[in-house]
Amino acid sequence: MNSDLPSLVAENVTLTLDTIQILDDVSLSMKPGRLVAVIGPNGAGKSSLLSILSGLWTADTGRVLLNNREVGNYPPAERARYCAVMRQDNTRPAGMTVLEAVELGRFAREAEGEASDLAWAILEQMGLADLAARDCTRLSGGEWQRVAFARTVAQVSSADGAGVLLLDEPVSSLDPSHQHELLGEARRLARAGHAVLAILHDLNLTAHYADEVALLSAGRVHACGPAAEMMRPEILSEIYGCQVTEVCEGGQRALVSFPPGKR
Amino acid sequence: MNPAREDEARRRGRRQRRLCLLAILFPVVLALASAFGAVPIGPAELWQLFSGAGDTSDVVRAVFWDIRLPRVLFAALVGASMALAGAGVQGLFRNPLADPALIGVSAGAALGAVTFFYFGWQNALGGWLLPVAAFTGGWLAVIVLGLFNVGFASGGTAKLILAGVALNAMMGSVLGFFLFSASDDALRSMTFWTLGSCASAQWSQVLVLLVFLAVGIFLLWPNARPLDALQLGQDQAAHLGVSVLRVRLEVIVAAALLVGAATAFAGTIGFIGLVAPHLARLLLGGLHRAVLPGALFIGGMLLVLADLGARTLAAPAELAVGILTAAIGAPFFLWLLRRPSSWSA
């Protein structure tokens, strides 16, 4: 197994949709063992970047390399074996159980019905086993988000090497405890050798779980680097256009935001 | 074992059993339907006819082999084709209201048939000109939809649905013009054709329908799993490794072949393509490995029963089968919608 794998690298990517510049000269690199967080204001181009990284869209200029090969050159099934994506899409399959939905993560790897044991193991590990027989349309928003994450994990679980995980706001519907649980699992996957990217909005979760942070603003990478250097109040205040302050309490640090012009 | 996993295993077992039950029920319904009619054929005679043993009268033998059996098989194949196409199209569009008619094939076929009647063409080609005209019309509609390239290669399924609606409206207006200006005789033929009928069933048609059904199954079966993945949304399916464009093309081609052939011979028979896949999902859940065969069996049985009603209820006269599929099917469907789903409950 190549120790550089898995990797996903975007080089000078630009994207224009209907004369609106969505991404402007974006470069980003994901390495095995690292959790990269992409943060930035609404409309900064985060989800578009994810669509390009995943090979779903093609950049106008620049290129994206998945395991050193242009992502657009992979047949869909082969690409799916190396790169799993969890989108914000809230589309629930009717008449399908949670276990069956997680088994779908193995679409590119095994025939139908051959992945039940793996899917079950992942559900158990994530504390979702009790929901296994539940119809997907009868889950709450947060439960469905956890199931979608379980499916994404199922997709990259493999004996023959680690993969790339792209997570678009994976904790947006979760309560605080499950936010920590899911991002903790994402970080554990990174430590196990996967390359993980998550689009996040919560500054404290980002500061706590990300190894590296890319700050995206108006389609450009404003700054990119280790989380400790990026998650500074002055930088965050600038890109979000509101006051972000750091508060310390009993040795714990937290980032707090205020409306513009107020303290 | 965790109770949830037991539940899940039970559910899978139940799906298998119900699918097996449908597979057994299917030939039973066909056999029963071939026993009823203007000349009743008892169970003993039925057995003799199939096994070749004993001596049945020539009349019974002729009625059974030349009229009854081809007609029952014809109805089963038409119903199965419509239902299978409906299951594929509903899965593709992720829309329970989707109907094979949505891709324009039914309206196109109707236009082909109505053109045939309008110009008073003789049914040349040994009686095959009418079905050929209808089939060609159906395929022209699908090709026009493809030429516009709306939603085929790119864009969401919503665009494709809207394009289908526009195409249907367009053909509806041409159809309306033909109906408006047709002679009384032609108008009568057109009206009867659009009500649907299995009365013209012949062995040769049964054979053609069988071939088309086989091709449809051949195209749809490998797409069962991709259709499951598509239920998560088109983009997510692509991330899971589904070649979305290929699935779309194969399902649409399969549906157009199935509905085109069925409509060409039997006229427009509505409702089965919409309802049979729903019934299959209510009974079997949402996985297409079960929904596709389930819909096929249910659709076949529904049309066989509707046709049985068509030829017996007002005997010796014949009702149009299209009247019965909707008259019996729609209230039954409403009743089913009222109940909580036996599957997800």
- Taking only the tens place, the pLDDT of each residue in B15-32 is 999 999 999 999 999 999
Considering only CB atoms, which chain A residues are within 8 Å of B285?
Answer: 95-97
Element (H, E) at A69: strand A69-70
Residue B155: per-residue pLDDT: 57
Q: Does the distance separating the beta carbons of A96 and B287 come in below 8 Å?
A: yes
Q: What is the mean pLDDT of residues B216-224?
A: 97
Closest chain A residue by Cα to residue B245: A76
Give the mean pLDDT of chain B. 86
Select the residue of B238, B281, B287 nearest A56 (Cβ to Cβ). B238
d(C-alpha B261, C-alpha B44), whole Å: 35
For chain B, the residues whose C-beta falls within 8 A of a C-beta of chain A are 2, 4-5, 7-8, 11, 94, 224-226, 228-229, 231-233, 235-236, 238-244, 281, 285-287, 289, 341, 343-344
Q: How confident is the model at residue B344 (pLDDT cuts 50, 70, 90)?
A: very low
Question: CB-hemisphere CA count at 13 Å for B26?
Answer: 21
Give tens-digit pLDDT for B29-51.
Answer: 999 998 888 777 887 788 888 77
Q: How far is CA A211 from the centre of its chain?
A: 13
pLDDT exceeds 70 at position B241? yes
So what's the ipTM on this one?
Answer: 0.94
Predicted structure pTM score: 0.91
Considering only CB atoms, which chain B residues are within 8 Å of A138?
Answer: 344
Q: How confident is the model at residue B168 (pLDDT cuts 50, 70, 90)?
A: confident
Burial B104-116 (b: 16+ CB within 10 A, else e): bbbbbbbbbbbbb
Closest chain B residue by Cα to residue A105: B240
Smallest CA-to-CA distance from A170 within A23, A79, A66, A35 is with A35
Smallest CA-to-CA distance from B30 within B276, B333, B255, B299 is with B299
- Which tokens hold the place of A220? 């450009």
Q: Is A217 on the interface with B (CB under 8 A)?
A: no
Low-confidence ranges of chain A (pLDDT < 70): 1-4, 261-263
Q: Are A203 and A231 in contact (CB under 8 A)?
A: yes
To the nearest whole Å, the CA of B277 is away from the closest chain A CA by 12
Angular region, A2: left φ>0, alpha ψ -120 to 50, beta rest: beta
Q: Does the distance separating the beta carbons of B243 and A95 come in below 8 Å?
A: no
Smallest CA-to-CA distance from B245 within B42, B48, B92 is with B92
Q: Are A64 and A27 in contact (CB under 8 A)?
A: no
